[in-house]
Structure formats: C-alpha cells, structure tokens
Amino acid sequence: MKGPTPFRKSSYSGAGGASECVEVAHTSGGGRAVRDSKDTARGTAFFGAGAWRAFTAQLRGGGADGV
C-alpha cells in the first residue's frame, strides 16, 4: 500500500505558533490522512474516502447521509 502524499497545512490555519493547525494529505483510494502540525509525532488519523466526504459535507453545513 502506498503512503499518503506530502502533507499540506490547512488554509484555515492561522499564523503564529499559538494557532490550532492541522495538516492533510491524500491517501490511496481517495481518503485523507490528518495530523496536528505542531506535534506531528503524536500520530496521524486516517479517513476513508466516504468518511472524508461525510466529514467535509458536515463542515459545509450540507449534512451527511447515513451518518
């Protein structure tokens, strides 16, 4: 299995060291890997493609079918 693409910082992350920031990378199969940009050694959360779509739909206010 191929690992995630390089991580990129969320465009919603603020400037400065005190900001709450996340980094996101694409994974094989359309999923995403997410980690804390201030503490990358803490680990990475992996989401399948369907879970990621449901999560982002909920953030956009569109709801998520089946969740």
Kindly list the domain boundaries of the chain, sorted by start residue: 8-59
Whose CA is closest to 25, among 44, 50, 53, 1? 44
How many other C-beta atoms are found inside a 10 Å radius of the C-beta of residue 23?
18
Give pTM, 2 decimals. Answer: 0.70
The whole-number pLDDT of residue 37 equals 85
What pLDDT band is residue 59 in, cutting at 50, 70 and 90?
confident
The whole-number pLDDT of residue 27 equals 92
The residue-averaged pLDDT of 7-25 equals 74
Q: Can you read off the two tokens belonging to residue 53?
A: 């779509």
In the chain, the percentage of residues whose pLDDT exceeds 70 is 69
Predicted confidence (pLDDT) per residue in 25-56, tens digit: 999 889 999 998 888 889 999 999 999 999 88
| Dist CA 53 CA 43 (whole Å) | 22
